[in-house]
Amino acid sequence: MIIRMSEYTVAVSGATGYAGGEVLRLLAGHPRLRVTTVAGHSTAGDLLGSHQPHLGSYAHMEIRPSTADVLAGHDVVVLALPHGASGAIAAELEATSPGTLILDLAADHRLTDAAAWREFYGSEHQGSWDYGLPELLLADGSTQREVLRDATRIAVPGCNVTAVTLGFQPLVRAGLVDPTRLTATLANGVSGAGKALKPHLLGGEILGDVSSYGQAGTHRHVPEIEQNLSRALGLDADAQHAGGVRIAFTPTLVPVARGIHATLSAPLAARPSAESGVASAAEAADAVHAAFASAYADEPFVTVLPTGQWPRTSSVTGSNAAQIQCAVDGRAGTVLVSVALDNLVRGTAGQALQSAHLALGLDEALALPMNGVAP
């Protein structure tokens, strides 16, 4: 149980990375959450300002070792660590700090299927935590935010997963598309790959280049996306293993610092045609737009754009907003959905804080940016 207080202390592990840095940026000036510890591994002993010079509010703070002993005793702990690195620290914290709210920004606790974890990550499953996507649609008509109100351990979704889930779940839950034939192609900014030095991410390599990765069903986000959409349908593990939801998912690296632009498509459950006697393309379009309006009418951070206006990554940079547009291609019998979001805010740090606010009994939208930065 989390004790309600006027102010909560926060420790951020992985504070020198992109995700950890974005959490700190969003927490600067937060009226209820106060950062008292920043932690890292090889950077321990350095001042944070030498690694995150844009974070003037925290430049004077010394980076402490990222151990359970250092992180224990805080009201909130954020683990912004690589996949596979947070599980061990989280296990120690769970044993020593049962009253601490722990947010894991890595994948270690997202999947409920241990076999899927072993297949895609190649290590032992660390167990499942409450999933940190408040807008996740559940089959009973509720959303994940109701679960998060009682959470003490939160697994924050992947950025690609967030874009695809938000774009497909209204259609899947409404039965408007074939959930076994979903296709997603994403253009991703390079910050989604993390801050570690990698040759293919150097300026000389990425500038002027576009390349795909994790092709043909091998990307680690595939089982997480299918898990989320299965929840919207109310499918159990056996039904999902039998092929209840299937997605062809291809992310593409583009030469921008941050942002995700997702292009999603799926066949209509009943293809409109005069010969078939089923709904016309116009009627199908009305049903599709109604599904999105119903799903997101009251969501502060998901905007379904007016007809004719399509999402752009530049419109959401620096914000916790996701922008969505949809259309029906009557000739092809498919639905097209476009989603844009900032991978470091809406796709990581922002929804981590959204989820933390719910767990702490705070206003979900507290201190989270609604507007993007332009130009």
Residues 182-207: pLDDT tens digits?
A: 999 999 887 666 656 566 666 667 67
Which pLDDT score, from 0 to 100, does residue 240 have? 67
Which pLDDT score, from 0 to 100, does residue 276 have? 44
Which pLDDT score, from 0 to 100, does residue 85 have? 83
Domain 161-343 in the same topology as domain 8-157+346-360: no
pLDDT top residue among 360 and 116: 360
Helix (H) or strand (E) holding 130: strand 130-131
> What is the SS3 assignment for 10?
strand
Pairing of strands 153-155, 101-104: parallel
Query: Average pLDDT for residues 59-73, to the nearest whole number?
Result: 93
Quick one: which of 28, 37, 29 has its CA closest to 9? 37
Residue 95 banded pLDDT, cuts 50, 70, 90: confident
pLDDT top residue among 285 and 205: 285
| Homologous superfamily (CATH) for 161-343 | Dihydrodipicolinate Reductase; domain 2 (3.30.360.10)
Each as own residue / partner, the long-range contacts of residues 57-60 (CB below 8 Å, 24 or more positions apart, any chain) are: 57/24, 57/28, 57/29, 58/15, 58/24, 58/28
Q: Mind listing the pLDDT tens digit for each residue in 291-331?
A: 999 999 999 999 999 998 999 999 999 999 999 999 998 88
Query: What DSSP assignment string belongs to 340-365?
Result: EE-TTIIIIIHHHHHHHHHHHTS-TT
Domain positions in the chain are: 8-157+346-360, 161-343
Instruction: Give catalytic residue positions.
Output: 159
Quick one: which of 277, 262, 91, 62 has its CA closest to 182? 262
Neighbours of 52 (CB within 10 A): 23
Query: Average pLDDT for residues 147-157, to the nearest whole number?
Result: 95
Rounded Cα–Cα distance for residues 159 and 46 (Å):
29
The lowest-confidence range among 54-58, 232-236, 273-277 is: 273-277
Rounded Cα–Cα distance for residues 213 and 192 (Å):
13
The CA-based dihedral angle spanning residues 238, 239, 241, 244, taken in that order and rounded to the nearest 10 degrees:
-170
* Alpha helix ranges (H) inside 97-141: 114-121
Q: CA 37, 20, 229, 225 torsion: positive or negative?
A: negative
Which pLDDT score, from 0 to 100, does residue 238 have? 67
C-alpha 167: how far from its chain's center? Answer: 12
Residue type, 134: P
Q: Mind listing the pLDDT tens digit for each residue in 223-260?
A: 899 999 999 888 776 666 666 889 999 998 888 888 99
Given a cut of 90, whether residue 374 has pLDDT beyond it is: no
High-pLDDT (> 90) share of the chain, %: 60
| Separation in Å, CA 158 to CA 74, 100, 149, 284, 330 | 25, 23, 21, 31, 32
Rounded Cα–Cα distance for residues 244 and 372 (Å):
37
Class of domain 8-157+346-360: alpha beta
* Alpha helix ranges (H) inside the chain: 18-27, 68-71, 86-96, 114-121, 145-148, 159-173, 203-206, 222-233, 237-241, 281-296, 313-316, 350-360
Which pLDDT score, from 0 to 100, does residue 277 have? 46
The lowest-confidence range among 118-127, 225-234, 236-245, 361-370 is: 236-245
Which pLDDT score, from 0 to 100, does residue 192 have? 65
